[in-house]
Structure 1
Amino acid sequence: MSRFTSAGFPPSRLPVCFKPHRDELLSSWIGRHADFYAVPPLVMLRHCLPEAASLRAADLNLAEDQQVRLANMFAAEPADIRRMTFTNVPQPFHRWIAVRSSQRCTICNPIHATPLPVLRSQLLGWRITCSRCGELLRDRDGHEVPSPFRHYHSMAIRGEKLLDNEIERGARTWASPTEIARLLLMRRIIFPVPSEHELYLFRVLGVIIPDLDRVVAAERVDLSTPARPILPLHLRASLLTGVAIVKRAGPEMLRMLRRHTLGDNMTRFSYAAEKLIAQAGKHPYASQRQLI
């Protein structure tokens, strides 16, 4: 019989509680308690929050009363519980939060910890560096991930900061960085028109980052879509760089990029781009020709 079911304690407080690791994800912390009490993690969560749909749902959003109940059960502060979740991230940005960890900082999350905690920063699908120490992220096993876009590093870091400021803190410039990223991930047309089974290889981003077409063609990788914008870690710098370049260049670059779309894609691109342009107002922008 598990320690959880046999202890007979009230759900208001667990007899044994573990301190969370710095930046640990809520589901990871609950999972470590579940392992100790020999119950499934969802059972552990529902012991306190019977209405919880899943661990993922709890990671993404917790109401204030749920934060208080979890804090009481795990001998923590509600503010600490909130920091372990993505409650601060608006729902439209949840597409940027990975379902499972695919990256890790070996400085902030060394492999000798057992069980290995999952940090909140490991699910941030727009980052190439650790949000805590600034080191380049590695894959989930701690291996270095060589990127063919390392030469764009400084510009990619700017793009990372733009997305981070919008998603985590609600800050924007003349346009939403996440909307810019969405436009850059739309399919584009090239001439001569490639075969039908190769059309998926070409994105608007490739106009700004010419290296991208070559890399994608060589790896035959299925790039992310506007609806699921998280790129593989080794390709992520290309999108971040593209966002930074468009932000710096201004609305006229969006009009220039529209010419590389066709049909329904052009209609969708134009609609979204014109909304951004209308919001921009009058600002001094560098010419896109100076940036490409």
Structure 2
Amino acid sequence: MDVLTFAPDVARALKDGAPVVALESTIITHGMPFPQNVETARAVEAEVRAQGAVPATMAVMGGRIHVGLTEGELDALGQAKDVAKISRADIAACIASGRTGATTVAATMICARLAGIPVFATGGIGGVHRGAETSFDISADLPELAQTAVTVVAAGAKAILDLPKTLEWLETAGVPVIAYGQDQFPAFWSRESGLKAPLRMDSADQIAAAARMRAALGLPGGQLVANPIPVEAEISRAEIMPVVEAALAEAAAQGIAAKAVTPFLLQRIFELTEGRSLEANIALVMNNARLGAAIAGAMARGA
């Protein structure tokens, strides 16, 4: 069954073998209010284009997976109400019911694979939540990385998570975790987490070559490229972690659990940092878009 609708520029790029970078849509529908959400999405798309690649923002609309959004579709999505936040478990139901759905990391990977797009740039991946040893709360992003062959560029995992357990999970599942240009695994708003990354690569060509080798070896799954936030935009680990701990304590005290945890924590961290966390978030997404475009270019030319 054909459920893909390609934006004209994405269709041309894929036909011509030009570099394409997949982008998620939850940042548009669940990340910030209109019109800032659409302005940010357009800025990220413009950054991908400036680096010589074509952006393909993913979303489910009208029973179809849209691979790239037109100007009108992006505006409509940015103002839509009751948009589902979809992952592997509910993407099929969303399409079948004709609902509008914004793609998470896991759903964007699925859509990118279906469309033949090997690179996806996002902000940060989900991971193992604090207290997962009793709650079993582990993001669907992790098993998706283990089974879907897409290279994901992110600023590490969100700092609200249990980063040591997240890295352990990824290691057990055989997911390559590649720190870009440094030895430490970055922690979203901060360049350093205090944890050594399993792998380090310093060029887009190296990352593209590793993806090709995985395919040649018949290994399942993708790669996680952990790209540190630019120095000028970071909130240091020493500054952000007390804020994260305070927000986590508030969530526990209010009995917030399951899917409600992450949105609550990100909102409280935004408030406690007086908006700096969102500024840093936008900066790291732009930085990941640049690296994603470079990797897509290296893959397209077989470097």
Could you say which TM-score interval applies, normalised by the shorter chain? under 0.3
Where relative contact order (Cα < 8 A, 6+ residues apart) is larger, the structure is: 2
TM-score normalised per structure 2: 0.26
TM-score normalised per structure 1: 0.26
